[in-house]
Structure 1
Amino acid sequence: MRASRLLSLLMLLQTRGRMTATELATELEVSVRTVYRDVEALSASGVPVYADRGPAGGYRLLDGYRTRLNGLTAEEASSLFLAGLPGPAAELGLAEVAANAELKLLAALPPEPRSHASRMRERFLLDVPGWYRGSDSVPHLSEVAEAVWERRPLRMLYRRWGQQEVDRLIHPYGLVLKGGSWYLVAAPAAGGNPRTYRVSRILELAGQEGEFARPAGFDLGAFWQEYSKEFRERMFTAETVVRIAPDIDGLLSYTLGEDVVTAALAGAGEPDHDGWRVLTLPVESLSHARWQFLRLGASVEVLGPPELRSLMAEAVADLGRMYG
């Protein structure tokens, strides 16, 4: 514990320059007397720590004394701070570890890369969840992360999309953060291909004895990329033909997804004399598409399939009666 605190004290002085005993005590969450003893210990071990007296005094390191990270450019150092996600790190139980790592990295950088990295942290922020939804509640995330790291089997009670609760014994391979939601990639303990589970749907969790053998060729990034592609293909179960008004592309992309609309526009014909175009769009289901297209009002006309056009007509008639 003391060795870690001594290292933190050294890094604070190396990163921030002159600091008073009171400032160091506040940062390290110890007493001023403990700071005095730690400074003496650093000096005894050969670290050149000096005390400046007076109102502007404090402890400082001998000018030029520092540990350097050779070969790390200013841009590379900056990218490391841009990649830091305080929220996800805290959810994984690594908030203090991440903060200490950032402090040590800053302290080890030469002046120019350190200044560049500090500006990056001050001017750029990564906020993962979307505007209209918060992050999932994930009370079991830190336990899952520990099992992933230690290759320990897990038994969980899991709530599937249909609200059905199932018991699973799994080998956890990795965690993925997607749009503010955590997903666990795990294989059945009895054997089989890896599957994906939403961590917020884990109702109960229990670590199991032993250690499983992680497949040597398993690539989490490649697995997730392929899973995402297959998920999108499975998600679209129907196809619609619509006629859209001019200048509705942006709102249509916001409603259905930019990649879906971009692909449809690329395959569309020329606009008619009024600027309207006919698009073929994949949708999750006809009932879901009804509400998506209703959001666009009279800027979209459903041409097919006939079932969806009937659903649209029924909805519009209901609205007419309600507001008529």
Structure 2
Amino acid sequence: MSELSQLQRTLRILQVLSVRDRVTVKDLFEHFDRQIPQRTLQRTLVLIEESSLPLRRETGAHGQLHFSLERRFHFLPELLNADEALAAILLAQFGEHFEGTPVGQALAQVIEKLEQLLPLNGVVARSGILGLGDTFRIKQPGRVQGGAGGQVLLRLLQAILERRVCRVRYRKLGAGGEGREYLIHPYSLALVAGAIYLVSRQAGAESWISLAAQRFVQVDLLEDTFEREPGFDLGTFLNGSFGVWQSEPAEVRLEFSAIVAEFVQERLWHPSQELEQREDGSVTMAMSVGLSSELEAWILRWGPHCRVLGPPPLRARIRELLGQALAAYDDGTPTA
């Protein structure tokens, strides 16, 4: 057998492992016609392990090591197609939500591995997945700075998967100090408007609460477990509100001027929305949604181009807020 390079030797070993389980160094020694020292083969197996390939080792009789590749491993991995490459780009953009945390580091490693599966002649491959700032980017004004600590998110995710009761210390918005202690049943995590929220129930209570992940001061998983509400569905839960704050649904009717009508029509603002265009170009929107400060803020963002038709309490509330905003400018300060 002519002398093999390290790469050739590694590929030959992977070929053997891809069709056989519980391969020993002695097996490989015989496979290479006893031309490659067993110590060299042992070092190559260690290099394969360190390359994050799914190589499993078992200790057999007399301490002999047996090596196997997990069956899900393909010796010749499939390259990403265009849709999969785009999915990888989208995934990479969520890294900024976890920057500086263990979750962010793990996500960066996943993206680095995906980059190795890009076709060499692909447009995306030439730009590189890790340098995506000029290729695709998600802009989220108001995104939480710093976000929740990686350990907090990992603990919450573990609690959700294992249905563990949690003792948490949580600091409400505007409250100082170390926050208050609660016993909660964690159900789901949701990314809403640039922030991660935990959807949960307080132990002994029937109502649902949404807790901002960045305001958790401490999360402890207890040995106690809880039974999930059989009918709970995260999508249905989120559809009941305009953001995350829950309240009884109301029949909301809004009128948008012709200036913003097309912009309103081309987007889904709420799953229950129904749009109707009028002859003057304006658009009316009807939706069943809970009244909340999030809905009020969204209506106010349209300025004079959105008018509340109903229900009366929402219409009165918007009038009140507009009056307060006008009063804030009616202080005698001259305009430029």
Q: TM-score range by the shorter chain?
A: 0.5 to 0.7
Deviations 1:77-104 (A, max 9, x none): 5245222332234365123333333444
Deviations 1:203-234 (A, max 9, x none): x314144263675979xxx8321121112384
Which consecutive unaligned segments of at least 5 residues does structure 2 have? 1-6, 12-37, 46-73
Q: Are residue 226 (structure 1) and residue 245 (structure 2) matched?
A: no
Q: Are residue 186 (structure 1) and residue 183 (structure 2) matched?
A: no
Indicate conservation of the 8 Å contact 1:153/1:169, yes or no: yes
What pairs up with 1:64-83 in 2 under 5 angstroms? 68=75, 70-71=77-78, 73-75=80-82, 77-79=84-86, 81-82=88-89, 83=91
Other-structure match for 1:45:
42
What pairs up with 1:157-196 in 2 under 5 angstroms? 157-160=169-172, 166-189=180-203, 195-196=209-210
Other-structure match for 2:119:
112
For residue 249 of structure 1, what is the amino acid of its counterpart? A
Coordinate RMSD, CA, aligned:
5.4
Q: Are residue 133 (structure 1) and residue 146 (structure 2) matched?
A: no
Specify which of 255, 270, 290 is matched with residue 279 of structure 2: 270
Which consecutive unaligned segments of at least 5 residues does structure 1 have? 1-9, 15-40, 49-66
Indicate conservation of the 8 Å contact 1:154/1:170, yes or no: yes
TM-score w.r.t. length of structure 1: 0.53
Indicate conservation of the 8 Å contact 1:134/1:180, yes or no: yes
- For 1:170 and 1:268, the matched residues in 2 are separated by 46
**Alpha carbons of 1:250 and 1:217: their partners in 2 closer, same or farther (altered >3 Å)?**
same
What pairs up with 1:221-300 in 2 under 5 angstroms? 223-232=233-242, 234=247, 239=252, 244=257, 246-249=258-261, 259=269, 263=273, 266-271=275-280, 277=282, 279=284, 284=291, 296-297=303-304
For residue 200 of structure 1, what is the amino acid of its counterpart? Q
- For 2:87 and 2:318, the matched residues in 1 are separated by 52
* 3-state SS in 2 of match to 1:248: helix
* 3-state SS in 2 of match to 1:270: coil
Q: Are residue 99 (structure 1) and residue 108 (structure 2) matched?
A: yes
**Alpha carbons of 1:180 and 1:46: their partners in 2 closer, same or farther (altered >3 Å)?**
same
**Alpha carbons of 1:228 and 1:91: their partners in 2 closer, same or farther (altered >3 Å)?**
farther
Structure number with higher helix proportion:
1
Specify which of 87, 93, 97 is matched with residue 88 of structure 1: 97
- For 2:254 and 2:110, the matched residues in 1 are separated by 54
**Mean alpha-carbon deviation: is it higher for 307-316 or for 141-150?**
307-316
Length, aligned pairs only: 255
- For 2:251 and 2:181, the matched residues in 1 are separated by 32
For residue 248 of structure 1, what is the amino acid of its counterpart? V
Question: Displacement of 1:182 after TM fit?
Answer: 0.9
